[in-house]
A and B are shown apart, each in its own frame.
Chain A
Amino acid sequence: MMNPADSTILAAIADATERALAEAEIRLPPDVLAAIEKAAAAERGTVARRELRNILENIALAGERQVPICQDTGVPVVYLTLPPDIPFTPALNDAAREGVRRATASIPLRPNVVDPLTRENTHDNTGAGMPAVHVIPGDRLMVTVLPKGAGSENASRIGMLLPSQAKDIPKFVAETMLIAGGRPCPPVFLGVGIGGTFDMAAALAKEALLLPVDTMDDYEQELCDAVNALGIGPMGLGGDTTALAVKVKRAGCHTASLPVAVNVQCWACRRATVEVPR
């Protein structure tokens, strides 16, 4: 077992968090880029085509100049994959925080994290309970980051549907984008959590955004079609492409409930995983 005070591992986790954030903020994963390119090739609207071209040019420029893709560099959501020999201790949280602090200065990131009531900015993207650190048991020690922008996060919804309303899930998902319109910077990716409990549905919806977006099963495709039928288009200016992909994660739930959460993610579906060297 690792000694919880093993400073080498903790330093390596902080370093991996910083590197994962740099990767996520500057370059989109290949499956995300492929989804945007596919949509740009298929889009029929003139305004929509130009929006998608701008997005692709922006992604290329960010890579060339080594700058963040979007000025809303988000709040850091961290997933730590821990092998059996690494115990989950508060020191691991601190290491992730240190990585976030360093990334904020080195990339640089916009300092976005504030106190929820006083709105006082901490200037380093950490705060009480922030970064959110989720632990996943696994074989290798890995840091995954998902920097989440506010425009799309604010358009996310959770509904406690009735058990008889399973057939209304496509309507709930489409309605989420009808209400959101152009605000979450469509075309979007939608993470949908179905089942579990109130909090679990939301966690599943966010985890669904970590899934590869270059494939959808029939149910995900049905949800995606329902959204795209709205014609909201890139940036709400109209077009064929409102959702690039919908990904679903499910969990068992109480026989009397049907929680459904939709986590809206703008086209910049930023995520990156770095294995921690040991």
Chain B
Amino acid sequence: MTDLATPLGDEVLALRAGDQVTLSGTIYTARDEAHMRMIEEGIPFEPKGAAVYHCGPVVQDGRLVVAGPTTSARMNALTGFLLDAGVRALIGKGGMGSEVVEQLRGRGVYLALTGGCAALAADRMSLKGVYFEDLGMAEAVWIIEADHLPLTVGIDAHGGDLFSAVHEKAKTQFHQRFNIR
């Protein structure tokens, strides 16, 4: 088990798909709308070594109620500029497309957080601030302090992609079971 902390550096390059890690330090939430806003207006936080969390939390009275990961693949076409700016880790669920696997090569990793584990995630996080609050609760960029978030390396910096490896195996199994050539 590797314990990671932001800001992240070259230590992420040593990770391999399937490794289990924890992550502590400041992370930033961003979903579809926040990505589009950042592409237009710029990244409001220091992107070098940052971790971006695909999440639309429930916030009440300045407190995180629940904050689990959302489906990362929606951000496939919107992610390149973050990695170009120095973001080292993307956190979410379900994995990302082949273009992101290539964009992560030699630069960063995709970390999978168990989908639906919103209470667990909130238990390991505290709310520090917000950018783009006008985008609404789910779409704003929330500044979060993480404490040992339990994560699995889904995509590493060497082209290793656990999701596509599992998918290829599933396809083979499916074809064998149902005699598809």
- B-contacting residues of A (Cβ < 8 Å)? 46-47, 50-51, 54-55, 57-59, 61-62, 65, 67-73, 108-111, 121, 149, 151, 170-171, 174-175, 178, 181-183, 185, 226, 229-238, 266-268
Complex partner residue of A68 from B58, B120, B152, CB under 8 angstroms: B58
**Residues in A neighbouring B58, C-beta threshold 8 A:** 68, 71, 73, 108-110
Identify the closest chain B residue to A168 (Cβ): B178
A111 to B117, CA, bound (A): 19
Identify the closest chain B residue to A175 (Cβ): B174
- Closest Cβ–Cβ distance, residue B175 to chain A (whole Å): 10
- Is the pair A110, B56 in contact by a Cβ cutoff of 8 Å? yes
Q: What are the 7 closest A-B residue pairs judged by CB atoms, nearest first? A: A185-B115, A58-B120, A58-B117, A62-B119, A54-B114, A230-B170, A71-B118
**Residues in A neighbouring B152, C-beta threshold 8 A:** 47, 50-51, 237
Q: Is B123 an interface residue (CB 8 A)?
A: yes
Interface with A: B2-10, B60-68, B83-91, which one?
B60-68
- Closest Cβ–Cβ distance, residue A177 to chain B (whole Å): 8
A236-B163 contact, Cβ under 8 Å, with A174-B177, A174-B178: yes
- Is the pair B114, A70 in contact by a Cβ cutoff of 8 Å? no
- Is the pair B71, A183 in contact by a Cβ cutoff of 8 Å? yes
Q: Is B162 an interface residue (CB 8 A)?
A: yes
- Is the pair A178, B170 in contact by a Cβ cutoff of 8 Å? yes
- Is the pair B177, A229 in contact by a Cβ cutoff of 8 Å? yes
**Residues in B neighbouring A230, C-beta threshold 8 A:** 170, 173-174
Complex partner residue of B166 from A108, A170, A236, A268, CB under 8 angstroms: A236
Complex partner residue of B118 from A58, A181, A232, A238, CB under 8 angstroms: A58
A266 to B118, CA, bound (A): 14
Complex partner residue of A231 from B66, B67, B169, CB under 8 angstroms: B169
- Is the pair A185, B167 in contact by a Cβ cutoff of 8 Å? no
**Residues in A neighbouring B169, C-beta threshold 8 A:** 231, 238
A183 to B68, CA, bound (A): 14
Complex partner residue of A71 from B56, B71, B123, B136, CB under 8 angstroms: B56
- Is the pair A57, B95 in contact by a Cβ cutoff of 8 Å? no
- Is the pair A235, B177 in contact by a Cβ cutoff of 8 Å? no
A154 to B143, CA, bound (A): 29
Q: Jot down 19 A-B pairs with beta carbons below 8 A, ordered by A.
A: A46-B20, A50-B150, A58-B120, A68-B65, A71-B68, A108-B65, A111-B137, A151-B70, A171-B178, A174-B178, A178-B174, A181-B94, A181-B166, A182-B95, A182-B166, A185-B93, A235-B94, A237-B152, A266-B115
**Residues in A neighbouring B112, C-beta threshold 8 A:** 235, 237
Q: Is B25 an interface residue (CB 8 A)?
A: no
A71 to B142, CA, bound (A): 15
A108 to B137, CA, bound (A): 12
**Residues in B neighbouring A170, C-beta threshold 8 A:** 178
- Closest Cβ–Cβ distance, residue B60 to chain A (whole Å): 6
A235 to B177, CA, bound (A): 22
- Is the pair A183, B94 in contact by a Cβ cutoff of 8 Å? yes
Q: Is B181 an interface residue (CB 8 A)?
A: no
**Residues in B neighbouring A226, C-beta threshold 8 A:** 177
Chain B 47-86: CB-based contact to A (< 8 A → 1; otherwise 0)? 0000000011110100001111011010000000000000
Identify the closest chain A residue to B114 (Cβ): A54
- Is the pair B120, A108 in contact by a Cβ cutoff of 8 Å? no
A234 to B65, CA, bound (A): 24
Q: Is B116 an interface residue (CB 8 A)?
A: yes
A188 to B42, CA, bound (A): 39
- Closest Cβ–Cβ distance, residue B36 to chain A (whole Å): 13
- Closest Cβ–Cβ distance, residue A153 to chain B (whole Å): 12
- Is the pair B167, A181 in contact by a Cβ cutoff of 8 Å? yes
**Residues in B neighbouring A108, C-beta threshold 8 A:** 58, 60, 65
